[in-house]
Structure 1
Amino acid sequence: MKRLAPLFVLMASVLWGSMGIVTRYVVAIGFNTRQTAAVRITSAAAVLILFLLITDRSKLKLRKEDFKWFLGTGLGSLFINNLAYAATVQRASLSVAVVLLYTAPFFVMIMSVLFFKEKLTVQKIAALFLSFAGCILVVGLSGANVGGNVIITLLIGLSAGFGYSLYSIFGKVLMGRYESLTVTVYTFILASLASLVIAEPVSMVRIIAANAEKMPVTVIGSVITLALPYICYSAALKYIESSKASIIASFEVVAASLFGVFLYHELLDIYNIVGIVCVVAALIILQLKPKSESGAP
């Protein structure tokens, strides 16, 4: 399983990259930004709970002393990440929001060194900066709009990145005690409760009732592009360093761009292509064994 861990993170990043397809579908139904996040998170949470109730209820058990860590993944990470990212998109261009979101690996690397005593290697630093530069080139920042209040917009965007990074930290702690399904389901339960509070639930119910025939696609899409990648990512965290996992997950930007090309006929310029090459190169660098390891018998 340890050898497959990077592949699990890569799978998660591809599924996250397809999130825009479902998001566009949900927004077209008539939900606003906060409601879209609430519908997707709550749908995924409901399916996960139902699945565990049918298959293995023991996975719903958790120790009281670990609840604080689930608050970290559910509220500190998933909820704050979604809320701050949505706010950044409203204040700035999508490219700026994506780049600020992908400051997450920087936060993860710092916290991993401090809390997990991970080694800060030249290999990791090179891959980190290469992947971040690649993300910037993929999304493009020419003529980027950062809104009226630049400092506030940047702080909110960085909050999205920081929230995103917290899952790699708290999730790493929890994966030493629980299975990935347990970590994911409680993360989504707490995030869905918080999302519903700010999403005008009465208005949401009316929209759902008026578009009942479109909800199955919404639910299935939410499970595939939101719950499933978190399950894959959580499972990988048990076997891979948090800093490496967060860098590999930056492939999400590349995946999203490629989905845009193939499904919506979006065009890639030379900078986008160079950016994709940079991100892929970063992933390759991370998989190279240090000389000390490669020379070992």
Structure 2
Amino acid sequence: MGYIFVILAATFWGSLGIVVTYLKDGGFNSYEISFFRLFFAGILMFIYIFFSDRKKFKISGKKLMFCLLVGVISQGLFNLFYFGSIVRVGITTGVILLYTAPIFTMLFARIFNGIKLSKQNIISIILCFTGCFFIVTNGSIDHFNGDVVGVILGILAAMSYGILPIFNKNLPEEIDPYTLMFYSFVAGVLVIVPQINPQESLKNLFQDKLLILLGLGFAFFPTILSHLFFIKAIKYLDPVRVSIVANFEVIVASCLGFFIYGEELGIIKMTGMIFIIAASTLPSIRKRSMTV
């Protein structure tokens, strides 16, 4: 079940590129798109909780701080670091830096959960990163940019993304997943708002009904549903395994690019996909062989 949940989360995350492309074509920048994602996700979560169980809004001060911390780091700062990196070093380098996240998840899991750094996890991370590298770059390093600030921002983005499984693993049982998502989305919005003019951005979005629908779909499928499945996955798998398998997102995005936009899907990218699949299944195969 853990693998099913994390693959579902990765599948929805992999569809992000489609919506982002349409919104960019609509004239919105990366920070505005991040704002729309979290803003509408927060509204949808508010509506759901309001009509299903309003008690989920009630939360103690310490638990609220936990939810806000998740939102500030893994929602707000993540977007600022990630898009700030892309602006400075380009999409290729920024994405590659982001997919070092499992390395940081492994380190955080060791620090906060005492999970040992097994050889299988290390090999899986190497395979995973290599696979992502092949898919994103198609085997070429021509588009790499070594801007120091951009690289640092990319690493910080990977760290803020890589700690998300740790947050979810250490989620107090008293905190409902929907409560966590609502308050974390709100916190993320508050971090991003200073980078844009929210009133002007929303005004421009509301001028096109299609863009409004895209914004709502953006909030529901690759945001709310993906995070919900991600939280459920962490109940069955360790944080490192979840972080590695979540990179299945790259395979989904690449396949969607091939079928929808006619992007190239050659032998190098296919090899990268095989590496990611191998990275995701290696430890489970070993465990099964040990129990036979």
TM-score (norm 1): 0.92
Superposed structure 1 runs of 4+ greater than 4 Å apart: none
Q: For the Cα contact (< 8 Å) 2:206–2:212, is it kept in 1?
A: no
Residue 238 of structure 1, CA deviation = 2.4
Q: Which residue of 1 aligns with 2:215?
A: 218
Residue 212 of structure 1, CA deviation = 4.1
Deviates more, 1:105-114 or 1:63-72: 63-72
> Following superposition of structure 1 onto structure 2, how do residues 58-97 of structure 1 map, counting pairs within 5 Å?
58-97=55-94
TM-score (norm 2): 0.93
Q: Which residue of 1 aligns with 2:284?
A: 287
Distance in 2, Cα, partners of 1:275 & 1:188: 32
Aligned pair count reads 291
> Percent identity, aligned pairs only?
27
Q: Which residue of 2 aligns with 1:142?
A: 140
Indicate whether 1:99 and 2:128 are aligned. Answer: no
Residue 292 of structure 1, CA deviation = 8.3
Q: Which residue of 2 aligns with 1:50?
A: 47
Aligned-partner residue type, residue 40 of structure 1: R
With over 3 angstroms needed to count, the CA separation of the structure-2 counterparts of 1:144 and 1:81, relative to structure 1, is farther
With over 3 angstroms needed to count, the CA separation of the structure-2 counterparts of 1:143 and 1:115, relative to structure 1, is closer
Indicate whether 1:240 and 2:237 are aligned. Answer: yes
Residue 67 of structure 1, CA deviation = 2.7
The Cα offsets for residues 206-247 of structure 1, whole Å up to 9 and x where unpaired, read as 312422453023212321111210111012222321111101
Q: Which residue of 1 aligns with 2:156?
A: 159
Residue 72 of structure 1, CA deviation = 2.5
The Cα offsets for residues 244-296 of structure 1, whole Å up to 9 and x where unpaired, read as 1101101111111111001111011221111011001111113224378514x
With over 3 angstroms needed to count, the CA separation of the structure-2 counterparts of 1:291 and 1:262, relative to structure 1, is closer
Residue 61 of structure 1, CA deviation = 2.4
Aligned-partner residue type, residue 70 of structure 2: T
Indicate whether 1:183 and 2:180 are aligned. Answer: yes
Q: For the Cα contact (< 8 Å) 2:64–2:183, is it kept in 1?
A: no
SS of 1:58 mapped into structure 2: helix
Deviates more, 1:178-187 or 1:38-47: 178-187
Q: For the Cα contact (< 8 Å) 2:9–2:226, is it kept in 1?
A: yes
Alpha-carbon RMSD: 1.8
With over 3 angstroms needed to count, the CA separation of the structure-2 counterparts of 1:210 and 1:129, relative to structure 1, is same
Residue 120 of structure 1, CA deviation = 1.9
Distance in 1, Cα, partners of 2:183 & 2:19: 22
Aligned-partner residue type, residue 234 of structure 1: I
The Cα offsets for residues 49-96 of structure 1, whole Å up to 9 and x where unpaired, read as 111111122222222112332232101111111111111221223221
Residue 155 of structure 1, CA deviation = 0.3
Distance in 2, Cα, partners of 1:109 & 1:177: 26
Distance in 1, Cα, partners of 2:204 & 2:78: 25
